[in-house]
Chain A
Amino acid sequence: MTDILCPTCGRPNSENHSSCDFCGGPLGSEDITSVQNSSLRDDLFSNENPNEPLEPRESMDEASRLDSLFSPDPPPLDSQKEPGDQPPESLNDVSRLDDLIPAPESTEALPEEEIQTGESLDDSSLRDDILGSDDPLQEPKPQNHFPLDNLFPDDISAPELPSQDPLPDSPPEDDQLQEKSSMETPGEDWDFLTEPSSSSGLPQENSPAEEPQGDWDFLTPDPSSEETPPQDLDDPIPDFGSPGFSEDSGWLDMLQDPETREELASETSSDIKKEKNQTDWLDKIKRLDKSTEHVDEDSSFPDWLSVSEKPAEEPEPEPTPEPVPEIQPEPASSDLPAWLQMDGDDESLNEFLRRKDLTNEEYKPKINKEPTGELVTLEDDDEPAADLSDSQHIKFPSWAGNESKKEEIPEDLQFLAGYDPDSPPPDGVDALQIEEEEYFDDLFNEELPDWLTSASSEGVIKPTSEALSQGDLPGWVEAMRPVVESSDLAEEEDYMENYGPLAGIPSVLPAEAEIALDLEKAAKKPLDLITSKSNQEYVNLLKKLIGEENKAKTILRPAPVQTQRVLRWLIAIIMLVTTAGTVIFGGNIETEPPTQAQIQNTGYGALYDQIEKLYDSQPVLIAFDYQPAAAGELHAAAAGVVDHLMEQGTYLSFVSTQPTGPALAENFLETTQEAHRYQHTQQYINLGYLPGESAGLLSFVIAPKKIIPLAFDGSNAWGSPPLVNVDSINDFEMILVITDDPDIAKIWIEQVGTILDDTPLTMVVSAQVEPLIQPYFRSSPQLLSGYVSGIIDSMIYEQILGRPNLATETWLPFNLGIVIAVGTIFIGGLANGVLSIFSRHRSKLIGDTK
């Protein structure tokens, strides 16, 4: 009676058990993971022949394709025993397992059934994924290595499997016939995987007693295993007969113990056993992925393959009553029958393959987080094989490492990482790759021929993780630790100033630079300064300027401006003497009256015409809007005009927007019009001061009686007969503004002149205002009806009037003053100009001399 190793926990069980006594898992059940893993290996080792038809391959079971990789050219045992015979010429990188795939030429020598089987085993699509091209020597493209995803999508369902995996129901005695039929119809090889429940009809918990014990007989060197009766045909677990395994799996037969292999070879294996043998080696692979304790219990491995030093004859451990830990099934496999559920070994192997795959995000952080720990664990597992050669330490082929490295990024996201699927794989090998290489070399290093193992050992990078002990960080990592920075900060904070005003104060910035200059070194440095002539001149100039800083300068006292003061006094004396003399001793100058042509288009001529239109008792408004300082000029200028108005017998109304205006009006009448003897309220009315400037003036224009109800002396301003009918500014016959301010003249023109209808607005202004009121006089419509500017126009006006007045009296001193002013300006200006020229010339000469 042979023991059956539990695929879940690896512990032996009696052959009449369908489930494991230890973990409760099904015995010998082929789960989905095994198929998955085998399919992966098919992907990895598939040999493509472009001339082969694809249909048989597609019908082939996924799990058997891995065996088919080696079946087309199963190395004979002799050849395996004599490695190094004729290595393939096309082998570039012998460390890659894809190089193990025999060349197409070698498949020609195989039997036809074998070739057909191999062809049928190949899945063309998956094969393309691995090889990537028709060229068997071409390296597989990394982007196509996702066999697990391709084989087991989430929506995988059990009904799909029976069509591919017909469960062999023939008795074991018909192994040869079954084998032949399986070769002819390869799609039926794995019926036991697809229809486990229908064929066996036993659920997982009900079938342990019917588990075939011969499935694991080659793993148990117990001689009793040879006497294992034929397996129950209803057993879903195929019999892993050695002959069948050796025939299908080729060089993987080397995994078996020679003795066991011979014993198994003597047994007639049925097709079912053959199918089971095809997956038998996968169980071994799965066990390699188990934890250490599981591996120790797996005594069916040969010494060279065993990962523990426990002898195979070690007594079986007593079954523990512990509850079997439940394995969380995969969501995709939850619907699978019990015999397809993953056991512990499958879970471990699946986990390993998922690491390779990295499509599951759960494994990715684990690998990244604890790479070192895993490496250490692997080393511990490999301790029994420590005496192996260096080539045997090569755990993972480089191409697999590259694949695993590339598969760290999911295929869907590789484009985001800038990964070019067509680009060749990088040459670098990371620690994870080496780790996985160790797994695979445990599997294949013994089967490799010597020529292959020796060649592969040359191009393999020794795992650097062996040199590292756990917890020891490299020096550069130590240097990067932030602890160093914090200690530096602490030192800076503890710094205390030793001198200066901050002496004794901690945590201050040092007064001196921490990195002081090496003065000796700096002094030895030669000065390569090359100065030009201009640079030297600048240096000399700088030295001169610095040197003159210490010298006291004598500041020359400027010469007093006596000449200017004398000139000023001279001008004043001349003006006073001449004007005073002419006023005192002078007289009137007889002048010729202007012609009619000279009067036309002049301001004084227009004013004269306007006054000539007035007659007796017509109200005339006169505004005294000038300062007392301008009284000398404006009194003389307005005297002839006002005299003309009085001559016309008009009723004069005085108003002023200046506070001093009413007084000036009274003074004007007393000084210039005394001959007329105008009486207040009888011939004239002094309305007084009109406040508000433009606003007051505008108000006065609208309603003069309301704005100024009383006269300057408090009497009724509008009670006089000429003013009784005056209700607005337009009721005045003429408006005469006497001003020396251009702004006041402008306000009168803009605020009053625009409102007036037929009432003329005239002005007597200072000579300085004339340029500003000329535009209003010479514009159309004419806002200013006439004006007299200064003494000159007034004197002409008096001449026109024929009544000499104040302007005529001041004409001679005025002209003398002009002559003196012109003479002074001309002489003084000429002298100053000449002096200025000489001064500049002399300064230029002095500058040139210096």
Chain B
Amino acid sequence: MNIKIKSPISTAIAIGVGIVVLAGYFIPSMNDIRFILLRTGLVLSAVALLVGIINLLTVHIKKLGAENANSGYSLILVIALLVTLVVGIIDMVQTYLVGQPNFQMTNWVFTYIQMPIETSLLAVTTVSLIYAAASILRKRMDVFSITFFFVILLVLLGSFSIPPATLPFLHVIRDWILRVPALGGARGLLLGIALGTITTGIRILLGTDRPYSD
């Protein structure tokens, strides 16, 4: 017999915890309860990270096989994960055994493998953005495209600051764009985010939204 008690229980837990944490902002005596709940959530988040790593490893191990054309990438991922894990464990063991922080191997992996890769990806993004900005008038030439095009140019030129070629009025224009239109747009965006957050919180407290359910 399939009795679906999961959804009501999870909903009750979510609503109860949310109400207690929210009440902790206004009732000082409930800070202890709120802290217990937050600390429990903190532990669960760390466990969830480990569960995510295990799930990633499991999925890519299943993809290893001759049938899958992309099995090579999965193999690289599994190897990299295991190597990094082993390096980290060695550094941890070494640190606890020696009593001196020693994360040389981990720092080497991070400095010479992870950071260059991610930085290179960001650099490629820069080239792609420049190309997109250059071709925007080709794909669509209207008022908004032209405005977007020239705003990019003005902000970039206002960031340029080589003394012989510095144009003060470009700095003023850049500062004006950042403080007036960009600031106004950012405020509106933040207000919208705040209202959306409040609405989402209320919906979760009322049980209307159940992001924790299936």
Contact = CB atoms under 8 A, between A and B. Distances in A.
Bin the interface of chain A by size.
Answer: 35 or more
Interface stretch (B7-15, B55-63, B65-73, B126-134): B126-134
Interface stretch (B34-42, B75-83, B204-212): B34-42
Given A692-B45, A696-B42, A699-B42, A571 B130 contact: yes
B101 A706 contact: no
A666 B42 contact: no
Interface string A624-667: 00011111100000000000000000000000000110011011
A821 interface: yes
A830 B150 CA distance: 11
A770 B46 CA distance: 30
B141 A833 contact: yes
B1 interface: no
B186 A628 contact: no
A693 B49 CA distance: 12
B179 to A, nearest CB: 7
A699 B39 contact: yes
A836 B178 contact: no
B5 interface: no
Interface residues of B, number: 58
Interface stretch (A20-28, A132-140, A229-237, A771-779): A771-779
Contacts of A770: 178
Contact of A667 (B46, B115, B133): B115
B127 A575 contact: yes
A666 to B, nearest CB: 6
Contacts of A772: 186, 189-190
A774 B141 contact: no
A822 B153 contact: yes
Interface string A675-697: 00000110000100011110110
Contacts of B187: 775
Contact of B178 (A707, A771, A825): A771
Contacts of A827: 134
A698 interface: yes
Given A660-B110, A714-B95, A706 B39 contact: yes
Interface stretch (A72-80, A375-383, A518-526, A589-597): A589-597
A631 B45 contact: no
A570 to B, nearest CB: 10
Given A632-B119, A825-B133, A691 B183 contact: no
A822 B160 CA distance: 10
B87 to A, nearest CB: 11
Nearest to B116: A628
Contact of A628 (B38, B118, B135): B118
Contact of A707 (B42, B107, B152): B42
A572 interface: yes
A interface SS class? helix
A767 to B, nearest CB: 8
A828 B138 CA distance: 9
A795 B34 CA distance: 43
A260 to B, nearest CB: 106
B178 A702 contact: no
B157 interface: yes
A616 interface: no
Contact of A833 (B126, B127, B138, B186): B138
Given A706-B39, A712-B101, A715-B101, A591 B183 contact: no
B190 to A, nearest CB: 6
Contacts of A692: 38, 41-42, 45-46
Nearest to B95: A713
Interface string A709-721: 0001111000000
A93 B159 CA distance: 120
B38 A592 contact: no
A481 B42 CA distance: 87
A811 B187 CA distance: 31
A659 B173 CA distance: 39
A792 interface: yes
B161 A829 contact: no
Nearest to B101: A713
B92 interface: yes
A714 B102 CA distance: 11
Given A822-B157, A829-B134, A572 B127 contact: yes
B111 A667 contact: yes
Nearest to B48: A691
A149 interface: no
A770 B137 CA distance: 27
Interface string A751-783: 000000000000000000011101100100000
Contact of B131 (A567, A713, A771): A567
Contacts of B45: 691-693, 695-696
Contacts of A832: 134-138
B96 A714 contact: yes
B176 interface: no
A746 interface: yes
Contacts of A627: 118
A533 interface: no
A529 to B, nearest CB: 49
B31 A659 contact: no
Contact of A629 (B106, B119, B134, B190): B119
Interface in A39-88: none
B190 A746 contact: yes
B49 A659 contact: yes
A568 interface: yes
B182 A702 contact: no
Nearest to B114: A628
Given A628-B119, A698-B38, A829 B136 contact: yes
Interface string A797-835: 000000000000001100100110110111111101101
Given A660-B114, A693-B45, A629 B131 contact: no
Contacts of B85: none
Contacts of A664: 110
Interface string B135-172: 11111010000000100110011011111000000000
B196 interface: no
Given A818-B159, A836-B137, A828 B131 contact: yes
A746 B191 CA distance: 12
Given A772-B190, A822-B157, A827-B134, A836 B141 contact: yes
A837 interface: yes
B156 A663 contact: no
B131 A691 contact: no
Contacts of B95: 713-714
A794 to B, nearest CB: 12
B138 A746 contact: no
Q: Pick the most buried of A693, A702, A746, A837: most chain B CB atoms within 10 A of its CB.
A: A702
Contacts of A632: 119, 122
Contacts of B31: 702
B160 A819 contact: yes
A775 B136 CA distance: 30
Q: Pick the most buried of B38, B92, B162, B190: most chain A CB atoms within 10 A of its CB.
A: B38
The 10 closest A-B pairs by CB, nearest first: A828-B134, A832-B138, A629-B118, A713-B101, A833-B137, A692-B45, A699-B38, A692-B42, A771-B182, A691-B46
29 contacts: A567-B135, A571-B127, A575-B127, A575-B130, A663-B106, A667-B107, A686-B101, A691-B42, A692-B38, A692-B42, A692-B45, A696-B41, A696-B45, A699-B35, A699-B42, A702-B38, A707-B42, A712-B101, A714-B92, A772-B190, A827-B134, A828-B131, A828-B134, A829-B135, A829-B137, A832-B137, A833-B138, A836-B137, A836-B139
Given A575-B126, A833-B138, 9 more contacts: A568-B131, A628-B110, A629-B119, A691-B43, A695-B45, A770-B178, A771-B183, A772-B189, A774-B179
Interface of B: 31, 34-35, 38-39, 41-43, 45-46, 49, 92, 95-96, 101, 103, 106-107, 110-111, 114-115, 118-119, 121-122, 126-127, 130-131, 133-139, 141, 149, 152-153, 156-157, 159-163, 178-179, 182-183, 185-187, 189-190, 193
